Structure 1
Amino acid sequence: MRDGAYVQAVSGARFDLAAGECLALVGESGCGKSVLASALLGLLPGNAETAGSAFAGDLDLIAADERTLARTVRGRRVGLIPQSPAAHLMPVRTVRSQLEETVRELTGVRRGPRLRAAAEEAAARAAFPAGHLDRHPHELSGGLAQRAATALALVGDAPLLLADEPTTGLDRDLVERTVDELRRHIGAERALLLITHDLAAAERIADRVAVMYASRIVELADAAAFFGSPGPRHPYARGLLDALPDREFTPIPGMPPELGALPAGCAFAARCDRATATCATRPAFADGVACHHPATVPLEAPRA
Structure 2
Amino acid sequence: MARDRAQLPRSGTTAPPGLARQHDQRRTAFAARGGLVAESVPRAVHPAAHARGLRARPAPARPDQPAVEIGAGVVKLRVDGLSVRFRLPGAVVHAVTDARFELREGRCLALAGESGCGKSVMAHALLGLLPGNADVTGHAWLGPLDLVAAPEKVLARQVRGRMIGLVPQSPAAHLTPVRTARDQLAEALRELGRTEAPDEVAARAGLRPQDLDRYPHQLSGGMAQRVANALALAGDPPLIVADEPTTGLDRPLVDATMAELRRLCDEGRAVLVITHDLRAAERVADDIAVMYAGRIVELSEAGAFFAGPRHPYARGLLDALPTRGFVPIPGQPPELTRLPDGCSFQPRCAQATPACEELPVMSGKGVACHHA
- When the two structures are superposed, what TM-score results if normalisation uses the length of structure 2? 0.75
| Poorly superposed stretches of 4+, deviation over 2 Å | none
In the alignment, is residue 155 of structure 1 matched against residue 241 of structure 2?
Answer: no
Of the candidates 284, 291, 299, which is equivalent to residue 220 of structure 1?
Answer: 299
2:97 counterpart residue number: 11
Deviates more, 1:213-222 or 1:182-191: 182-191
Alignment partner of 1:282 is 2:354: no
| d(CA) in 2 for partners of 1:6, 1:51 | 15
Unaligned runs of 5+ in 2: 1-86
What residue is the counterpart of 1:55 in the other structure?
A: 141
Q: Does 1:263 align with 2:340?
A: yes
d(CA) in 2 for partners of 1:178, 1:212: 22
Q: Which string of whole-angstrom CA distances, capped at 9 and with x for unpartnered residues, describes residues 139-163 of structure 1? A: 2122111111110000111110000
2:222 counterpart residue number? 143
Shift of 1:122: 1.2
1:102/1:155 contact within 8 Å kept = yes
Cα distance between partner residues in 2 of 1:271 and 1:49:
29
Contact 1:89–1:137 (CA under 8 A) maintained in structure 2: yes
- The whole-number CA distance in structure 1 between the counterparts of 2:198 and 2:267 is 23
Q: Distance in 2 between matches of 1:89 and 1:65?
A: 27
1:292 aligns with 2:370: yes
Q: Within 1, Cα distance between the matches of 2:112 and 2:143?
A: 24
Q: What is the RMSD computed on CA atoms of the aligned residues?
A: 1.1
Give the secondary structure class of the aligned counterpart of 1:13: strand
Q: CA deviation at 1:137?
A: 1.2
Match 2:107 to one of 21, 36, 48: 21
- Out of 156, 162, 168, the residue aligned to residue 82 of structure 1 is 168
Distance 1:142 1:3, change over 3 A: farther
Give 1:187 shift: 4.1
SS in 1 for 2:213: coil
The secondary structure found in structure 2 opposite 1:6 is: strand
Between structures 1 and 2, the one with greater strand share:
2
Q: What is the aligned partner in structure 2 of residue 41 from structure 1?
A: 127
Give how far 1:57 is off.
Answer: 0.9
Any conservation in 1 of the 2:199–2:208 contact (CA below 8 Å)?
Answer: no
Equivalences for 1:163-202 in 2 at 5 Å?
163-187=242-266, 189-202=268-281
Alpha-carbon distance, 1:25 to partner: 0.4
Deviation at 1:258, TM superposition (A): 0.9
Task: String of CA shifts for 1:12-41, please: whole Å, max 9, x gaps.
Answer: 110001100000000000000000000000
Task: Count residues with an aligned counterpart.
Answer: 285
1:72 partner amino acid: Q
> Are positions 1:2 and 2:80 aligned together?
no
Unaligned runs of 5+ in 1: 110-114, 295-304
Q: Distance in 1 between matches of 2:157 and 2:347?
A: 45
Please tell me whether the aligned partners of residues 19 and 187 of structure 1 are also in contact (alpha carbons under 8 angstroms): no
Q: Given residue 165 of structure 2, which amino acid in structure 1 is its aligned partner?
A: G
SS of residue in 2 equivalent to 1:203: helix
Give deviations 1:197-222, integer Å, cap 9, x for gaps: 11111111111100000000000011
Q: TM-score, normalised by structure 1?
A: 0.91
Q: Is the 8 A contact 2:241 2:273 kept in 1?
A: yes
> Which amino acid letter does the alignment assign opposite residue 261 of structure 1?
R
